[in-house]
Amino acid sequence: MTTGVLPLDKPRAPRRPAARRSNFELYSWLFMRISGIALVVLVLGHLFIMNILDEGVQRINFGFVAGRWASPFWQFWDLSMLWLAQLHGGNGLRTIIDDYARKDTTRFWLKMLLYVSMAIILILGTMVIFTFDPNI
């Protein structure tokens, strides 16, 4: 609006300092698109194999998981999917918290909860893929 006071501390300075101090939001925007392309293939492929192919979810059990993770290809598939999905989804939730949290303290604690849950899922999921033992 025209009535507000412009927040310029040096209105006559030849060059104003850039308002943007970091490119983090630019990179996270780009990451959402790049990881999104990869996740379209990884996740839709995963859902097709697990829910549609053969007998779908009915055939999934410990032996089925052991058979898949015997192959480095599916280990790599699942590991990539875990990290990309968790970072993509976590960044999406970060944006949503920023949009809808109305108090800074709410925003802070919701983000802490988000980051802790992301860390738990990433560490646990990675450990499970790397330490899986079919003869347990």
Partner 1 sequence: MSITASPPDRIAGASRRSGTLYIGDPGMWSWVAHRITGVLTFFFLFVHVLDTALVRVSPEVYDEVINTYKTPFVGLLEVGLVGAVLYHALNGIRVMLVDFWGKGPRYQRPMLWAIVGVWLLVMIPSAVIMFTHIFGGSPA
Question: Considering beta carbons, is residue 96 or 108 the nearer one to partner 1?
Answer: 96
DSSP states along 104-126 = HHHHHHHHHHHHHHHHHHHHHHH
- Rounded to whole angstroms, what are the CA distances from 9 to 3, 4, 17, 135? 17, 14, 10, 68
Which single residue is written with the structure tokens 């412009």?
A: 6
Question: Considering beta carbons, is residue 22 or 58 the nearer one to partner 1?
Answer: 58
Token pair belonging to 96? 């949503």
- Pattern of binders to partner 1 over 69-108, x per CB under 8 A? -------------x--xx--xx-xx--x-----x------
Q: Which of residues 14-53 bind partner 1 (CB under 8 A)?
A: 33, 36-37, 39-40, 43-44, 47, 51-52
- Rounded to whole angstroms, what are the CA distances from 1 to 6, 8, 36, 63? 10, 15, 38, 65
Footprint of partner 1 (CB under 8 A): 1, 3-7, 33, 36-37, 39-40, 43-44, 47, 51-52, 55-63, 65-66, 82, 85-86, 89-90, 92-93, 96, 102, 117, 121, 124-125, 127-128, 131-133, 136
